[in-house]
Amino acid sequence: MYIYSFYLIILRAKVLLFSFICKLYITKKCFKKEYILLITFFSIIFAHQYKAKMILHIFNPEHDLALANNTKHFIAPHAARQLKADLGFLPALWAEDGDLILVNNLASATKHLQRFTKFIKRCHLVSEELLAAIKSDITEIRPWGWNESLKQELLNMGLSEKIMPTEQQLFALRQMSNRQFAQPILYELYHGLPYNNIIGRTAYLSDPKEISPIIKIVKKAILKAPWSSSGRGIRYIDERLDSHALNWAHNTMRRQCGVMIEPFYHKIKDFGMEFFSYADKVVYQGLSLFQTTNGAYTGSLLQTETEKLSIISQYIDIQQLTYITLKLEEVLFKHIKGRYVGAFGVDMMIVPNDNKEQPNQPKFFLHPMVEINLRRTMGHAALALSHHKELRGRIMRIEYDGSHYHLHLKKPSKTTE
């Protein structure tokens, strides 16, 4: 009797809520803050009646900068804060039914997410205000990337520290996010892969005097800060080390104890492999064909794995790529097992062979590990959208109009592969 009455109350509440939502849409007031808070709150309650887990997703694109800063009270630059505010809804692309996505502005995020409604599951956007009412029910947090600053921010919101990484785990994650971490893995791949078209060298320097001798050998080089976001913390050196680059290296070594140096490659294609690290294995998720400008991400191709492999096969044999994928799963798990669980990506590049006069030389070289990003990447977002047939062939782009960032799914130009 009591159980029947309870479900009758729930049913009536759902009917009333549905009527209320319809009325709001009719009166065009559905994006007012109070209404959205009420609708979202009841939607979450209904959705989790029988769900054991309540997972909170967070898009924190300032993650790489926070790692470099390495403080609990990091304040991101304006551009990073704006990107987070404008695209806070992004985790909805890969979230599961009933999951929550923390956003800065609930009304704005709800409005912008409408364009992607048919491509996402039944997740819920929540503001910090709404999160306060359900924080004790959160069972897991999945951010873009974990760092000290984010943990402190979530603790300040009242979330339980039990569902966050420990200080020791965050320290280990930061060490693995240092570009130096990839150096021995790249060395292992370079010498362990049975192919003559593998390139890639990198060195960690802690003394500015070590830079010039290397540049004399490689001519053109790239200096990279151990911790930095895409497109930042990078200096290009063309045959001589000028005073600006030297001063930058001095300052970076003072702040981060060293710099990475590697040859400059005239790449013709960027791409990557996306993975997920579990407690007992690393699993390949898919290829990511992306575009960059001055090292900064600008867009990704939405396409089937077959089509993406077809594009890469113009330069690299598919069987070789498959072998490298399996090798990466094995090698990466060996290096990160027990220390990282979550999504991550490996950036790669294809470089033409400029020395074609020698016999038995490959036309193209493969750099199998330009970067390891131990966090979720835009490649994972592209993989999620690529499951939808009507989006295949489009380019997922992030564009800035002078005041706000926007996520667009554009039809490619004729020159786009």
**Co-location of 278 and 238 in the same domain:** no
Neighbours of 113 (CB within 10 A): 20
Spatial neighbors of 24 by CB under 8 A, at least 6 apart, are: 30, 35, 39
Sign of CA dihedral 305, 308, 312, 317: positive
**Co-location of 170 and 274 in the same domain:** no
With respect to residue 182, please indicate whether it lies within any of the assigned structural domains: no
**Co-location of 75 and 91 in the same domain:** yes
**Co-location of 281 and 237 in the same domain:** no
Question: Can you give the pLDDT at residue 33?
Answer: 54
**Co-location of 333 and 299 in the same domain:** yes
With respect to residue 397, please indicate whether it lies within any of the assigned structural domains: yes
Instruction: Please report which confidence band the pLDDT of residue 44 belongs to, taking 50, 70 and 90 as the band edges.
Output: low
Going edge to edge, which strands form the sheet with 282-288?
A: 282-288, 269-277, 342-352, 364-373
With respect to residue 119, please indicate whether it lies within any of the assigned structural domains: yes
Structure tokens at 13: 């509440």
Torsion, Cα of 98, 305, 343, 199 (10° steps): -170
**Co-location of 373 and 258 in the same domain:** no
Q: How far is it, in rounded angstroms, from Cα 287 to Cα 104?
A: 31
Instruction: Please report which confidence band the pLDDT of residue 178 belongs to, taking 50, 70 and 90 as the band edges.
Output: very high
In which domain, by residue range, is 22 found? 1-30
Q: Do 157 and 128 touch, CB atoms closer than 8 A?
A: yes
**Co-location of 249 and 118 in the same domain:** no
With respect to residue 255, please indicate whether it lies within any of the assigned structural domains: yes
Q: How far is it, in rounded angstroms, from Cα 279 to Cα 137?
A: 24
Question: Can you give the pLDDT at residue 354?
Answer: 84
**288 φ/ψ sector (left φ>0, alpha ψ -120 to 50, else beta):** beta
Q: Is the pLDDT of residue 23 over 80?
A: no
Q: How far is it, in rounded angstroms, from Cα 55 to Cα 127?
A: 14
Instruction: Please report which confidence band the pLDDT of residue 220 belongs to, taking 50, 70 and 90 as the band edges.
Output: very high
The CATH number assigned to the domain holding 330 equals 3.30.470
**Co-location of 298 and 406 in the same domain:** yes
Residue with tokens 């072998």: 323
Total domains in the chain come to 4
Question: Can you give the pLDDT at residue 7?
Answer: 45
Instruction: Please report which confidence band the pLDDT of residue 144 belongs to, taking 50, 70 and 90 as the band edges.
Output: very high
The mean predicted confidence, pLDDT, of the chain is 87
The secondary structure of residue 389, as a DSSP letter, is: G
